[in-house]
Amino acid sequence: DTGVSQDPRHKITKRGQNVTFRCDPISEHNRLYWYRQTLGQGPEFLTYFQNEAQLEKSRLLSDRFSAERPKGSFSTLEIQRTEQGDSAMYLCASSLELSGDTDTQYFGPGTRLTVL
Amino acid sequence: GQNIDQPTEMTATEGAIVQINCTYQTSGFNGLFWYQQHAGEAPTFLSYNVLDGLEEKGRFSSFLSRSKGYSYLLLKELQMKDSASYLCAVRAMDSNYQLIWGAGTKLIIKP
């Protein structure tokens, strides 16, 4: 069990460019979550998948954000036409959802995005 | 609406005990989590409470009172490595069972 991994760990881009982040969850986990976190705040929910199905997306999430989990394993988060306000840490978490279980989320190391 | 409150910052002495409080307002409570987050790193899971009472796990304990919308994380025998932010997160029906996170409590440990 290698834990949740994310790539890249850091990304610097210019305003208006597109960026894509990858998350590899813990192998047997069926749920995958994307969060955004800024300094001094808790994680903000963006979206989550159960297997390959995207079950929920935050109402606060701009149409510039899209996520996929094509085969129910790794996931990608794309941000189009980046803005300076998109600068944040993007966290991925995974969990194993079983009936009656706690559904504890385990986080990856995050991708820190800086938009210039 | 949903609201989670934690103190912004606390200071404690190495070897001592500290209690970090979390209050919440939600509808359809379905569990409360505590996570530890060192600066620049991802949150790591500490504890989970869904029923009233105290859950003990080594130096860390977590308490829940659902009727009061209140939880605390108790850290004993503080070590310098415990300097971190501690995040309280609540899962509830009115958030479609997604975790709603507090802003975190930054704990500073002094020698």
Helix, coil or strand: residue A86? helix
Measure CB to CB from residue B96 to each of A56, A105, A106 and give the nearest one: A56
pLDDT digits 0-9 by tens, A46-92: 999 999 999 988 887 889 999 999 888 999 999 999 999 999 999 99
pLDDT above 70: percentage of residues in chain B: 98
Residue with tokens 């990858």: A22
On average, the pLDDT of chain B sits at 94
Give the mean model confidence (pLDDT) for residues B83-90: 97
Which chain B positions have a beta carbon within 8 Å of A108's beta carbon? 42
Cβ atoms of A12 and A102 within 8 Å: the answer is: no
Residue with tokens 């994307």: A34
pLDDT digits 0-9 by tens, B8-56: 999 999 999 999 999 999 888 999 999 999 998 999 999 999 999 999 9
CB atoms within 10 A of CB B48: 18
Residue A64 has a pLDDT of 95
Residue A99 has a pLDDT of 65
Cβ atoms of A38 and A86 within 8 Å: the answer is: no
pLDDT digits 0-9 by tens, A96-111: 987 666 789 999 999 9
State residue A80 phi and psi, 5-degree precision: -95, 150
Helix, coil or strand: residue B80? helix
Which chain A positions have a beta carbon within 8 Å of B98's beta carbon? 45, 48, 56
CB atoms within 10 A of CB A8: 13
Cβ atoms of B107 and B14 within 8 Å: the answer is: no
For residue A41, the chain B residue with the least C-alpha distance is B103
Helix, coil or strand: residue B94? helix
Indicate the pLDDT class of residue B1, thresholds 50, 70 and 90: low
Residue with tokens 């297997």: A51
Cβ atoms of B49 and B64 within 8 Å: the answer is: yes
* Residues shown for chain A: 116
Give A29→chain B minimum CA distance, Å.
16
User: In terms of DSSP bridges, do strands B9-13 and B105-110 run parallel, antiparallel, or are they unpaired?
Assistant: parallel
Q: Which residues of A touch B (CB under 8 A)?
A: 40-45, 48, 56, 91, 102-110
Under DSSP, the state recorded for B89 is E
Under DSSP, the state recorded for A60 is T
Cβ atoms of A36 and A93 within 8 Å: the answer is: no
Indicate the pLDDT class of residue A21, thresholds 50, 70 and 90: very high
Give the mean model confidence (pLDDT) for residues A24-32: 93
Which chain A positions have a beta carbon within 8 Å of B22's beta carbon? none
Instruction: Provide Rg for chain B, Cα atoms.
Output: 13
Cis peptide before A8 (omega within 30 of 0): yes
Measure CB to CB from residue A110 to each of B42, B44, B104 and give the nearest one: B42
Residue A60 has a pLDDT of 77
Indicate the pLDDT class of residue A1, thresholds 50, 70 and 90: low
